Amino acid sequence: MKSLGPKVTGIRLLLGCMMAVTVPAHTFAQQDSLWQMDNAVDEMELLTEELENLENVSEELLEQLELSQSNRKPNLNNLSYEVASKQLYLTDYQYYQLQLYIETHGPLYSIFELDVIDGFTVAERLRLSYVTVVAPPPRQRPTFRQLWKSGKHVLWFRYSQVVERQAGYDTTRANHYPGSPARLQFRYDYSNREHFGFRIAGEKDAGERFFRGEQRYGFDHYSGSVYVKNIKWLKYAVLGDYRLNFGQGLVLGSSMISGKGGGVSTLRRFTDGVRAVATTNEGEFFRGGAFTLGNAQWSGTGFAGAVTESDRTAFGGALCHRRAQFTVGGQFVCLGEYPDTAAWRDKWRSLTQPNQWNASLSYQAVAGQQLFFGEVAVSEKGKPAILQSAVIRLAPVFQFATLVRYFATGYQSPMGSGFRTTSGDCGEFGTYLAGHLVLSRNVEADLFCDYYRLLWLSYRTDAPVQGIDAGISLTGKPSRKSTLLARYYWRNRPRNESENAYMHRLRDQCRHKLRVQWNYEPFPFMRTRTEVNMVFNKGPDPLWRKGILMYQDLVFTLKRPQLSLYLRVAYFDTDTYEERLYAYENDVYYAFTVGSYYYQGMRAYLMLRYKIRNLSIWLRVSRTHYLDRETISSGLTQIDKPHKTEVKVQGMYRF
């Protein structure tokens, strides 16, 4: 019988909320990072049809991926909730049972002890054995010198440019770009997982000057932050740029990802509270300061700062109180506005006397192995927003989720991103259903259906309407080296007619999308992907408009030398812009590309990545050639040729 070791002083985080998520059985640490990103985006593309805010999405996914690629494996005896949920993909129920076991019996001595902990299967234990370690928890506080040596430094610089000459760089035109066509970006990041870190980033857009004229300080955009964490009662503190994510995003959710089509596992949001950022994206974050105080039973957050790309200042806070299997949180945010030329006195007045505020109360609870969560919010005009959801495990092979939402007409939350079909102050009421079914050992199915009513005017819809979205996804593994994926998506929603520019009549518009994807790994150093995407739209006329996208990917990875090659050849043909199709493309480190394919043409890209010790170098060349037109784009970005070529070069040094 195992002897009891020193007990952990209380369960640090008693989160008994159980989320029935099917954890992939493959080992992430043994795969190429860009290939992982490709798989992650495949699951994300159905979350939002229009693929908005891609730069924010990319930062979220890439930072989670970077966490999972760390050389230091997490210790199961000293596991934080953030690492457990985002890096190891553990459910709240699994994390709670693990902490309860350690509290009762002491630290783990072997990975095989997971077999007797409720919520862990043999397959789960095997997966965790590759990506975690079992070691005694740290007993003494490290010195500053030890923290600095154990930290990680990452420095990268990127150059990109469109090769063809664009109209905006013709200096004979009255209106033209003042700078060069090169886009420059850099980022330096120091992070110590235990206690502190800092980061800084800069960007120069194409067409802007660099260390000349109005850009005498170099980059037109700088971003940075300094943060500390896990110092007694101080859980997190940041000075500089940061993002906030609380509840289900009705009030604070500046960088969350959630939407339709992702199945049961993507319905609930894992909130991380305050997160320091240094981003090359010039919007969607706060600039100021924020902190979080608390312990295992409660936590509180306060923040103040300016909202980027706007003349608004914000301040507020959030409070979270935890029990063993119940969590309640409240958020309160105030916003004030001031003109760009306002004096400091006017800016201070806008901060202390805000003209807009939002408040909400969120919760999550467990009843047996069923999860219930939601959030109720209200704006300064008394307009409510409600989101209630449940994740139910009806059987070991079937999981079911439902989400009911209501946004009153006129409800506004500038920093929110709750689950909904439209944005802005258009009212909405809807019911979303999703299910995950294990059909056999090698076949799984995800399906969803969303019925909603838009209560007021919205984009391209000049009257209240009702619509329905539905879809199904089948994933199978014909062999150990191949994966087959088939997805079907259907939408029916009235839209404005385009024939009459003065009086818009609503007509039903039906949309069908089909995707078939085959991944195959014939050799350890070679991977392939073949994909076919099709879309069919039917508007007010009896004609069906169609679009098709076909592409072939090849990835070669050599260990000696450490060289990787990524190649894609794609063909696309759509009747109009409305039938455009999207596909993720492998890109350089910390870059994110989702190509938009429309009209008729071909696209190809080639990327090389070479690594020698701590230095990595990327070279990427992409080209789109249209077969049905002689010019591309319009205005300052117009190219008087049927093709567009882009070159990217990036170097990164880790130390």
Tell me the HSE value of 274 on the side-chain side, using a 13 A CA sphere: 34
> CA–CA separation, 537 vs 600, rounded Å?
17
For the stretch 505-552, pLDDT in tens is: 788 889 999 999 999 999 989 999 999 999 999 866 668 899 999 999
pLDDT confidence bin for 624, thresholds 50/70/90: very high
Arithmetic mean of pLDDT, 234-256 = 85
Contact between 528 and 522 under an 8 Å Cβ cutoff? The reply is yes
According to the model, what pLDDT value does residue 536 have? 94
Tell me which amino acid residue 408 is.
A
Arithmetic mean of pLDDT, 425-440 = 91
Residue % of the chain over a pLDDT of 90: 35
In the chain, helix, strand, coil percent, each to 5?
A: 15, 45, 35
According to the model, what pLDDT value does residue 511 have? 92
Contact between 636 and 175 under an 8 Å Cβ cutoff? The reply is yes
Lowest mean pLDDT among 30-44, 286-300, 442-456, 636-650: 30-44
224 phi/psi in degrees, rounded to 5: -170, 165
pLDDT confidence bin for 302, thresholds 50/70/90: very high
Arithmetic mean of pLDDT, 161-183 = 89
Query: In this structure, what is the dihedral angle of CA atoms 201, 206, 210, 212, given to the nearest 10 degrees?
Result: -140
Higher pLDDT, 271 or 302: 302
Our measurement of the distance from residue 530's CA atom to the centroid of its chain's CA atoms, rounded to an integer in Å, reads 25
SS3 category, 43: helix
Arithmetic mean of pLDDT, 385-404 = 90
> CA–CA separation, 72 vs 135, rounded Å?
12
**Mean pLDDT taken over the chain:** 81
Arithmetic mean of pLDDT, 311-329 = 79
pTM for this model (two decimals): 0.80
Arithmetic mean of pLDDT, 381-399 = 89
According to the model, what pLDDT value does residue 214 have? 80
Helices (H), 45-114: 54-68, 81-86, 92-105
For the stretch 95-153, pLDDT in tens is: 778 878 887 888 888 888 888 888 788 878 888 888 888 887 665 556 666 666 677 88
462 phi/psi in degrees, rounded to 5: -95, 30
Bridge partners (DSSP) listed for residue 466: 453
Q: How many helices (H) and strands (E) does the chain have?
A: 7, 27
For the stretch 186-244, pLDDT in tens is: 999 988 766 788 999 999 998 898 888 788 888 988 999 999 987 888 888 999 999 88
According to the model, what pLDDT value does residue 551 have? 96
For the stretch 322-352, pLDDT in tens is: 765 688 889 999 988 877 677 778 777 777 7
Lowest mean pLDDT among 6-15, 278-287, 471-480: 6-15
According to the model, what pLDDT value does residue 46 have? 43
DSSP label of 461: B
CA proximity to 256, closest of 362, 99, 335: 362
Helical axes 33-44 vs 54-68, angle rounded to 10°: 130
> CA–CA separation, 210 vs 218, rounded Å?
5
Bridge partners (DSSP) listed for residue 390: 372, 402
Higher pLDDT, 471 or 191: 471
Helix H or strand E encompassing 149 = helix 144-150
3-state per-residue secondary structure call for 216-265: CCCCCEEEEEEEEEEECCEEEEEEEEEEEECCCCCCCECCCCCCCCCCHH
Tell me the HSE value of 173 on the side-chain side, using a 13 A CA sphere: 11
Tokens 């080209």 belong to: 623
3-state per-residue secondary structure call for 486-521: EEEEEEEEEEECCCCCCCCCEEEEEEEEEEEEEEEE
